[in-house]
């Protein structure tokens, strides 16, 4: 039996028979030789529809999430777009969180509404509100937990209990498979922006979708269609970098957790700070849910706000998250607070 860290290093790849490299090679080839007319060698023909470097990453992430399969995409938004296009059609309805990632929210509100897809925005931390929003034409419930950026915690198991006929999609980006296993809690589909914790080095953009055809019949084939025929596939070099980052996910997440806990405790004790949004604190409204469905309970740079009457004594940087190099994309080594 292997553990998470071992699987992160070894799952998804066996040294090839030509030279036996222990690391996944970058197969920088658009086209692959065939052994005869329509006789594909190893199942690969053209990198837009499949590449061994990409396959290695897909198998590794599927193993870590406990999924039947995974399909990689060129970005997290490409992955999200494909999920929605596969699961929704004109006249369908989706339930989405009021603190969903901005890109997800804009895609649903500005693109899918034009296709005749209805949506209801709810407080996803309230399962009763979610249950009340489900309609006969509801096909998707979109859960993100922890949310970006306010770190709300959604009880995945509770939402699974009220989803009825809808497919429950969980964006697991901010937890990573190291801290949270959505499939074990009732999710039907799991998606990641691999740009964040999985890649982990702020040097590659990517996304990945994990699924199980027993939960969503035919889903894998449809994901593959969009992968190749819409051109949302990632490059071999990008997936190589992502796979390299994945190998150290466990040790990096342990350090993220340690640092975040220390920073949150410090901020929580400062009179200049009005509120710290960190699920590891007992004062966080999602603390008990985080303890129940995540191990350990938190690994995020705490967000905090300052009271208006104390603007001159605000924690630096103002309005702050405690990361060393603030930027548009969090959750990599550049945003890890130093010990």
- CB neighbourhood size of 84 (10 A): 22
Q: Tokens 């470097």 belong to which residue? A: 53
7, 48, 224, 268: which one is catalytic?
A: 48
* Residue of 27, 101, 197, 240 marked catalytic: 101
Q: Give, as one character, the DSSP assignment of residue 216.
A: S
Q: How far is CA 115 from CA 83, 100, 304, in A?
A: 15, 20, 38
Active site residue 101: yes
Residue 134: CB partners within 8 Å, gap ≥ 6?
95, 141, 162, 163, 164, 166
Angstrom CA distances, 193 to 52, 75, 133, 176, 211, stand at 21, 7, 27, 10, 15
Active-site residue 171, yes or no? Answer: yes
Tokens encoding 167: 């497919």
Does 48 qualify as catalytic in the annotation? yes
In the set 163, 181, 196, 252, the catalytic residue is: 196
Active-site entry in 171, 188, 212, 238: 171
Taking each helix axis as running N to C, give the angle between helix 76-87 and helix 219-229, from 0 to 180 degrees, rounded to the nearest 10. 130
Distance, CA of 196 to CA of 156 (rounded, Å): 21
**Alpha-carbon distances of 187 from 45, 144, 161, 169, rounded to whole Å:** 33, 11, 10, 6
Phi, psi of 137 (to 5 degrees): -100, 15
Active site (catalytic) residues: 48, 101, 171, 196
């Amino acid at each position: 039996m292997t553990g998470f860290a071992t699987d992160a290093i070894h799952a998804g790849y066996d040294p090839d028979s030509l030279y036996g490299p222990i690391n996944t090679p970058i197969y920088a080839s658009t086209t692959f030789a065939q052994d005869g007319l329509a006789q594909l060698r190893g199942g690969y023909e053209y990198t837009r529809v499949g590449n061994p470097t990409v396959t290695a990453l897909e198998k590794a992430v599927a193993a870590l999430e406990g999924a039947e399969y995974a399909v990689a995409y060129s970005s997290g938004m490409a992955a999200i777009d494909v999920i929605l296009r596969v699961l929704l059609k004109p006249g369908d309805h989706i339930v989405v969180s009021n603190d969903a990632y901005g890109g997800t929210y804009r895609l649903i509100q500005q693109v899918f509404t034009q296709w005749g897809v209805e949506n209801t925005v709810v407080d996803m931390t309230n399962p009763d509100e979610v249950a009340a929003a489900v309609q006969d034409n509801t096909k998707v419930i979109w859960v993100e937990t922890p949310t970006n950026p306010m770190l709300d915690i959604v009880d995945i198991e509770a939402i699974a209990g009220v989803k009825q006929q809808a497919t429950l999609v969980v964006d697991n980006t901010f937890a990573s498979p190291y801290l949270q296993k959505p499939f074990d809690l009732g999710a039907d589909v799991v998606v990641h922006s691999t740009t964040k914790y999985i890649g982990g080095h702020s040097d590659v953009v990517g996304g990945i979708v994990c699924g199980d055809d027993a939960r969503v019949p035919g889903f894998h084939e449809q994901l593959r269609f969009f992968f190749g025929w819409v051109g949302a596939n990632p490059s071999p070099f990008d997936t190589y970098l992502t796979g390299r980052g994945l190998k150290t996910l466990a040790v990096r997440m342990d350090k993220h957790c340690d640092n975040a806990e220390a920073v949150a405790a410090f901020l929580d004790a400062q009179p200049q700070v009005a509120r710290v949004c960190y699920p590891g604190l007992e004062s966080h409204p999602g603390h008990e849910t985080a303890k129940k469905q995540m191990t350990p309970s938190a690994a995020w740079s705490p967000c905090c706000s300052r009271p208006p009457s104390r603007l001159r004594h605000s924690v630096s940087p103002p309005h702050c998250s405690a990361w060393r190099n603030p930027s548009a994309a969090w959750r990599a080594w550049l945003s890890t607070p130093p010990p």
